[in-house]
Amino acid sequence: MGAHVMMLSSLGHGHLIPFMQLAQKLAAKGLTVSFVTTFHHIPSLRKKVDGACEAGLDIHLLEMEIPHDHLTLGKVNSNSVQWHQLPPLLDADERLQPHFQRFLERFLAGEISSLPAPVCLITDFLLGWSSAVAQKFGIPRVSFETSGMFAESVQQIVWDTLPRNLPRTASGRYLVPGVPKEVRLSRLQLLPELPEATPENGTHQFWVRQRRGNKQSWRTIVNTFYELEGEFVDHFERVNGTLRTIGPLLSPEAFEDGHVERKRIAPAVELGTSTEGEKCMQWLDEQAEESVLYISFGSENSIPTAQVEELALGLEASGVKFVWVLRMPSDAAQNSFTSALDSLPAGLHSRMAAKNQGFFVLGWAPQVGILAHPSTGGFLSHCGWNAVLESTTTGVPLIAWPLYAEQPFNSKLVVDEIGIAVEAPQRIEQNWLVTRDDVERIVRSLMIEEKGKELRKRVKALKAAAKTAVGEGGSSSKSFDLFVSEIMALPQA
Ligand code: UDP
């Protein structure tokens, strides 16, 4: 048996997915991995873990008991929360502390499994408290940043300092001090409430607690690659301590060129019904190369009904083909929708079917498979970090449409720093709505006009860089091997 590593992710799906990818990579190096999770995720992880074990990997899925009303996943709509309070998902992550402490006590007493004590704990950067728990039991803690280094560096300064204390340019832009190059943020690149936030703000206090905990980690690992945002990797390491870049954490097939046998890109976590995903892939098979725009706002968000309407009508007017992962709108409670399709403008769904212009996915989409499909030529995204890495790895340019949290900073990275995205103009005077005319213009600019060609060229260069980074001798590959050797050198129980 290899050295035993114990892992604990945040409750959010966007965290669980890279954690599971990492578990498999560590086990493939001969380590024993225990993957601790809650009842929410056992069903979607069980099949994956069983499959990995059959393939010879030593991964153990362990349930940490928590009350069933701890958090109702699926009921959280992150972009409709008030950020002066702590958003429910972050609050639920913080409240895991006593449960994990109890779990670890029982584990070390041999009451949960016969595995030896872990040589280290790899826990989410949103679980800053886990440094204190790890110290209590004398186990080194690794903080896993599932977010990018540009966004994390900027976020750390913006949330810790608060925008009201930041210097401003003559035109009112916020300047972020202390980062390796000048970063100017517009009002749009901050959350609606952030400019007025005071030290009493719940999210500000949350971030201060996380940073304090995370700085006490033995190591930090990051799901990014040096060639993407190296200056900010170096900056983050200077501020927060030794780190290793180990991304993009995606299955090897996602890095391949051309038509990848889609069944080979197995999702990291089994959440969808395979029939809906399969129909979507078949529809894509019939479309022209790089002609389809893929639209998704991530695993936790949806947009309000008024925005669904503007997006739908703008898409229709653009004439561009699309696959849209359509969720119940964020204000669904105020409407009597029985299906997310009810939030579309009257007749639009049947018009799109008749013209064969659009395909709607109502459940969980096989996102990486869709992005790797040769018919997909653009990605309208909320700019979650996984989405950014997936678009980079598959070479698909973006329309950046951030909704909350660190997404505006990721958007700034892809639009202004690395130039692989156009920005959807959210209009503050119209309650942050992107109008149908703007949707039409921006979609045509990415999918039809010269601008899109430039962005596509740049993202293809990054795709090559990502593949090199994870290949033998590449930056992430070397950094990962170093990390594994450091784990193996830790004393075993
Ligand atoms: N995802 C997916 N199908 C969906 C929605 C999301 O496979 O229908 C995956 C997506 O590929 C990504 C993750 O869920 O790996 C979402 O993470 P991201 O960081 O982009 O956003 P978050 O959901 O955390 O805001």
CB 314 within 8 A of CB 439: yes
Closest Cα to atom 21 of ligand 1: 384
Residue-range definition of the domain harbouring residue 348:
259-468
**Do 418 and 452 fall within a single domain?**
yes
| Predicted confidence band of residue 414 (pLDDT cuts 50, 70, 90) | very high
Looking at residues 30-57, what average pLDDT do you find? 95
Indicate whether 83 pLDDT > 70: no
Where does the pLDDT of residue 261 fall: very low under 50, low under 70, confident under 90, or very high at 90 and above? low
pLDDT digit string, tens, across residues 434-455: 999 999 999 999 999 999 999 9
Residues 272-329 have pLDDT tens digits of 667 888 899 999 999 999 999 999 999 888 899 999 999 999 999 999 999 999 999 9
For tokens 């659009």, the residue is 358
- At 92-102, the pLDDT tens digits run 999 999 999 99
Q: How many whole angstroms from 386 Cα to the centroid of ligand 1?
A: 6
Query: Over 60: is that where the pLDDT of 403 sits?
Result: yes
Whether residue 300 has its Cβ less than 6 Å from ligand 1: yes
Q: Assign 75 a pLDDT band (cuts: 50, 70, 90).
A: low
Q: Whose CA is nearest to atom 15 of ligand 1?
A: 386
Write the CATH number for 271. Answer: 3.40.50.2000
CA–CA separation, 488 and 490 (whole Å): 5
Q: Both 230 and 284 in a single domain? A: no
Report the mean per-residue pLDDT for the chain: 93
Question: When comparing pLDDT for 221 and 334, which is higher?
Answer: 221
Give Cα 288 distance to the centre of its chain: 29
- 308 with 181, same domain: the answer is no
Mutate to test the pocket of ligand 1, among 9, 10, 13 (most ligand atoms within 8 A of CB): 13
Q: Is 368 in the pocket of ligand 1 (CB under 6 A)?
A: yes
Residues 403 and 447 placed together within one structural domain of the fold:
yes
The pLDDT of residue 73? 73
Q: Is 140 in the pocket of ligand 1 (CB under 6 A)?
A: no
362 shares its domain with 473: no
- Predicted local confidence at residue 74, as pLDDT: 66
| Strands annotated E in 76-192 | 120-124, 141-145, 174-175, 184-185
- Strands 174-175, 184-185: pairing kind: antiparallel
- 184 beta partners: 175
Are 157 and 283 in a shared domain? no
Could you tell which of 78, 386, 390, 413 is best to mutate to test the pocket of ligand 1, judged by most ligand atoms within 8 Å of the CB?
386
Are 204 and 301 found together in one domain? no
- Classify residue 493: in a domain, yes or no: no
pLDDT at 391: 98
Q: Is 364 in the pocket of ligand 1 (CB under 6 A)?
A: yes
State in Å: Cα 65 to ligand 1 middle: 25
Q: Which has the minimum average pLDDT: 17-26, 260-269, 414-423?
A: 260-269
Mean pLDDT score, 386-402:
97
**Same-domain check for residues 161 and 277:** no
For ligand 1, is residue 124 a contact (CB within 6 Å)?
no
Name the pairing type of β-strands 376-381 and 174-175: unpaired
Question: Which has the closest alpha carbon to 325: 355, 351, 352, 364?
Answer: 364
**Does ligand 1 come within 6 angstroms of the Cβ of 294?**
no
Q: Is the CB of 325 under 6 A from ligand 1?
A: yes
Q: Which residue has the higher pLDDT, 373 or 266?
A: 373
Nearest CA to ligand 1 atom 23: 299
Q: 329 with 358: CB under 8 angstroms?
A: no
> Do 402 and 303 have their domain in common?
yes
In a domain, 41, yes or no: yes
- The reply to whether 384 and 483 lie within a common domain is no
Is 378 a domain residue?
A: yes
397 in ligand 1 pocket by Cβ < 6 Å? no
For residue 15, being part of any structural domain is answered with: yes
pLDDT of 457: 97
Residues 462 and 476 in one domain: no
> Per-residue pLDDT for 370 more than 60?
yes
Number of domains in the chain: 2
Does the Cβ of 384 fall within 6 Å of ligand 1? yes
Q: Which atom of ligand 1 is nearest to the CA of 364?
A: 8
Report how far residue 183's alpha carbon sits from residue 179's, in angstroms, rounded to the nearest whole number.
8
Task: Kindly list the distances between the CA atom of residue 159 and the CA atoms of 29, 46, 164, 388, in Å, as whole numbers in the listed order.
Answer: 37, 37, 10, 22
Q: Please tell me whether residues 326 and 211 are part of one structural domain.
A: no
Flag whether 463 is in a domain: yes
Query: Does the residue 20 lie in any domain?
Result: yes
